[in-house]
Structure 1
Amino acid sequence: MRARLALLVAAVSVLTLVAFLVPLALLVRTVAEDRATVRATADAQSLVTVVGTADTATIRLTVEQLAAESDRPVSVFLPDGTVLGAPALRTPAVALAARGQSLTAESERGREVVIAVQGRPDGTGVIRTIVPPAELTAGVTRSWLVLALLGVLLVLIGLAVADRLARTLVRPIGELSAVSHRLANAELDARVTPAGPPELREVAGALNHLANRIQVLLVQEREEVADLSHRLRTPLTALRLEAESLRDPQDAARVTAAVDGLERAVTGLIRQARWRAPTAGAAAADAAAVVAERVAFWSVLAEDTGRAVTLDLAPGPLPVGVPADELAAAVDALLGNVFAHTPDGTAFAVRLAAEAGRATLTVADEGPGIPPDTVDRGASTAGSTGLGLDIARRAAQASGGHLALRTSPSGGAEVRLELGPPKP
């Protein structure tokens, strides 16, 4: 924008100066020509009295003296054909002046000034002088240079003023853009300092109002989610107690499994609703510590269901650009999928490695496997909500990584979660 404004001002300034300086330059040249012509005419007119009354010798002496002083050729044509002063041919202008008409004409040697002198006894004499081109244009080149430098100076001043004006416009626009990007990255405390023209100040105020409104809506949403969590946990607990009170062990196990599935679906829904992208400057998590803690938590359930757990963790600390609670939710989602979608007794392995400054978490099981499109939000072939892998994928993307789903060497599912380093 600054470049375009500068180009616009430069174009307007150049056009204005051309429209102003070209006529002025022509006027300067015309004034110089007229000044030289007037000077030559005045010198020639100073001979009128001498030519009209004096003898030939006096006229010759006076003409030679004037030619030496004015540094231009001066000739006097007498009625008898005698030419005094600088030798010259009788030009049409001289012939016309001999009839009693003084005039100025252009010739190859410059501007020709002829003056008719009447009153001599033998007829009309003619005084002729030539103004050379150098005298006609004396000082014109210097004046044109001064005008050109003045034009360049004015253009530079215009560009400086335009650049300063452009900065007063571009700086607030750049700040608006930067704050917009920060808000898009979930930095909801970002605000714009209103500056610049009234229109930009109004836009800045609207953006700040939007950010405040987003914060209010998020707070309301989290309060509603917290209320939802409280409301759903109570009936789920009652259902679990009812299932445990059933006399038939098979019915109790079937109802308990259904309650567990419902609880996992509710937990995934709540986590998804409360998800938020990490803000700039958020504390980084130690992936090694978080993964070790969550695997230890799930190992108890794995032992109860007869699952063999293989754990291979890179030595910590291994910082990643995801807050610890969100990384723990992603790990729980991956491990929860193993327990939810594979039969009891299915072994699984958890591996955390450091690769090129990034942390790579791999969870592989020996179950029946899951199709690759399960990573899509809400997609599931096992009757669940399909939000577990979506939670993990969002955690990876928030850190600058990604999630990949493929088949493990044993034929089961293998989820690879790549996590980027913390942002500076």
Structure 2
Amino acid sequence: MTRWRPGITGKLFFAILGTCILVLVLMHWAVRLSFERGFIDYIKHGNEQRLALLSDALAEQYARQGDWHFLRHNDKYIFRLLRSFDREPETNLDMPPHGWRTQFWVTDRRNARLVGPPGPIPTDGMRREIVVAGQNVGWVIASPVERLTRSTDINFDKQQRRTSWLIVGLSILLAAGATFPLARGLLRPVKKLVEGTHRLAAGDFSTRVAAPGKDELGRLAQDFNQLASTLEKNQQMRRDFMADISHELRTPLAVLRGELEAIQDGVRSFTPETLASLQMEVGTLSKLVDDLHQLSLSDEGALAYQKAPLDMVALLEVAAGAFRERFRSRQLAIELALPEHVTLFGDSDRLSQLFNNLLENSLRYTDAGGKLLISGETRANAFILTFADSAPGVSDEQLARLFERFYRAEGSRNRASGGSGLGLAICQNIVEAHGGCLSAAHSHSGGVSIRVALPLNPELQRNV
């Protein structure tokens, strides 16, 4: 048999209801305790007044009679005195109701009973001596007030207890009626988040939940929607990535297969030109696989970075010098406009890879007769490098997507140039690993301008 366990709504309901019950019970006992103690003090004060009046009245009568013969076994006399105290408004007595009066005894000076209820005279009751001509002639004794409030014969006390518990019971029912919808209302956004999480875990990344407000639950809903949006975007990127990889691999493999089948069938002979074509396709595959490997390492942060103080200008001049001959063969020029020295804290190998990728990008996608201008300046504690090439350029829409993986703009900057579409994505990871940022814009010469911003180390900076 499955054991029933309350959900979060039931737990919250029982928690709030239990708190309400605890508060009500504590309030009930506090009120009862306050009532009993306060009422005991009230009765005690009234009894003290009655004792004083009885003592004075009996002393006056004793002075007239000369002894206690008038009072012995005369309980009615005490009763008439007490009635007379209640009837005389000039006494201005603040006494409890008749039903709360205590019992009184009158004894002589040797504590012999004169009047009073049968049974032993209480030793813990209030006493008031009767004084005549400066001498004690007797005592007036009242029963303890605490004994009166604990008596089961007091109907008023019973009624108050029943009324108090009835109020507690009704309050608990009212609290239960108010707590359940309150618990459901508070947890309604949580349930929506739970349902949305289940759909998200099932693979439905289009799931969104309504933000109930600007409180913690509202911010949680906003974070949930942002997470779902990111997962949806990543899923689409993964699908596009897999499609692009399969497409990029299929093209050189198809060429290789066609060439090999043609040689095998005797359609083409195995000549140096055929070998060069095969080697070119293998080179394309090797470049694509190497770029994919580099990109995966940079995404995971697994690329080794051994940072040290280095001269950025010298590093950039070495990279540009290595590409100068290739640029000249394509009828392209490289111009440098750099400060004499700029020292940064970075990894020389990775920064060289960054510069090589940017130079390779301009070499592939710039028309013959153009140029590449590499300029640099220090600004706001950062070193700003700009790689601005000449025509052809790209549209604004294409410019915004240059750093997407496998993206290549249509037109002159296309797949025919031999790039894998991963170079700029690798560059972006390298720049971000150095705490900088990479961006693209239109260049003044009609091409594309790649801007690299790297933070300077204030202690190592040497600008001349």
- TM class by shorter-chain length? 0.3 to 0.5
> TM-score, normalization: structure 1?
0.46
> TM-score, normalization: structure 2?
0.42
